[in-house]
Amino acid sequence: MATKRRYLPLASTRHLEKMMTKYYALSRYHRLWGKPLKRPLAWITSGAPVELLRAFNIHPVYPENYGAICGTRRVSTDLCQVAEAAGYSQDLCSYARSHIGSILRPDLAPMGGLPKPPDMLVCCTNICGTVLKWYEALARIFNVPLLVLDTPFLPGDLTAHARQYVLEQLKEMVTALERLTGRPLNRDELNRQLARSSETIRLWKEIRQLCRATPSPLNAPDLFIHMAPIVTLRGTRQAVDYYRRLKDEVKQRVQQGQGAVEGEKIRLVWDNIAIWYQIFGFFKMFSQQGACFVTDTYSGGWVMELSPGDPLESMAATYTEIFLNRSPEFRARQMIELIQDYKADGFVMHSNRSCKPYSLVQEVIRRRVMQQTGVPGLVVEADMTDQRVYAEEPIRNRVQAFLETVGGL
């Protein structure tokens, strides 16, 4: 029988909300004044080398982050249906469908959609192949330049050849950005951007590591909400300041023995993107029974080391080694390490209908991880933003049965 448990809110959330509101307001400002001020607006994929754009004074906006906003505000299904009516398949990623729907029907979209048109599109294939087709569609809609960074899938470790292939494209991207902005690459500024990115990543990593404490100071919804700046503001002073503040708060929780979930009894690892429209409802099924998601693979995707040295070479390696661009063996190892490091009792995988590269190999990974760690793993079928795929009762029953197995509840 579940007891009512208190969920501890983070004071930093207020600052996060203010910062993200300011970021989107600034994006509108860039749409209006970017051209005369020579500060263009780019729509960019989450795994693209944003530091390079920022070094050219280009303001980046992330349709994927916007897709997540549509999900939390529960308008994605309507926007997806708009895109589907325009001929985009229901099998496409729901971030892409929500975003395209928001362009076609801004009246249904949060904030009236992203500021448009973008001055350019920047797409990196390290997260999936879908983004390429999505951005090609955007380039056709707005008739603006599309810059593509193609990162080869890594079945094993990064090879010199793969690194060189990406490096050459980065050099071409520099030439294209010089042409589009009318200014040369400022290498000092690029180094500053990379240094701030590294600092942000280091802080995010330390915050996540603080969750090795028992009880864990954060639960998965905290990690999902507070990862927004590392995606959208990586490379900025605001992101560094924000994660310093968050780290202080999380550290204080650890020192005071405060857990995100009152009376933590079960520690779990989450795999895949959040179910945004159920971000609190879904995890409440767990937290009400004393189960806390102490870490995850999704927000952990931004803990990537930017190696020192030549900035373009460093970016070529880092952005090719993104975990979604790696083999099932790599991902299984990563999950095993998380379970061991965070002393987890089990793991839950969101089989996300939208995100094929994340979801298709999960069963292979699940079996391997269970075999090597001895902890149980549950697969829950849903979609990150399209609510039509979420079946409340079957999910609730499976979660209950899983928690009984893990914790004898």
Q: Which residues bind ligand SF4 (CB under 6 A)?
A: 64, 93, 95, 127-128, 130-131, 273, 354-355, 357-358
The minimum distance between CB 309 and ligand SF4, in angstroms, equals: 28
CA distance 333 to 289: 29
The minimum distance between CB 8 and ligand SF4, in angstroms, equals: 29
Q: Which is nearer to ligand SF4, 127 or 315 (CB)?
A: 127
The minimum distance between CB 357 and ligand SF4, in angstroms, equals: 6
Q: Which is nearer to ligand SF4, 181 or 387 (CB)?
A: 387
CA distance 81 to 67: 14
The minimum distance between CB 259 and ligand SF4, in angstroms, equals: 30
Q: Which is nearer to ligand SF4, 272 or 295 (CB)?
A: 272
Give Cα 406 distance to the centre of its chain.
28
Token code pair at residue 291:
């189960």
CA distance 136 to 138: 5
Q: Which is nearer to ligand SF4, 10 or 69 (CB)?
A: 69
Between strands 120-124 and 266-271, the pairing is unpaired
Return the bridge partners of 312, or none: none
Contact 271, 258 (CB under 8 A): no
The minimum distance between CB 132 and ligand SF4, in angstroms, equals: 10
The minimum distance between CB 166 and ligand SF4, in angstroms, equals: 18
Q: Which is nearer to ligand SF4, 99 or 253 (CB)?
A: 99
Q: Which residue has the tokens 């009516």?
A: 85
Burial 147-168 (b: 16+ CB within 10 A, else e): bbbebbebeeebeeebbeebbe
Cα angle: 387, vertex 389, 394; to 5 degrees: 110
Q: Which is nearer to ligand SF4, 56 or 224 (CB)?
A: 224
Listed in sequence order, the residues at least 6 apart from 111 whose beta carbon sits closer than 8 Å to its beta carbon are 24, 69
Instruction: Return the closest-CA partner of residue 375 out of 404, 349, 336.
Output: 336
Q: Which is nearer to ligand SF4, 95 or 242 (CB)?
A: 95
The minimum distance between CB 96 and ligand SF4, in angstroms, equals: 6
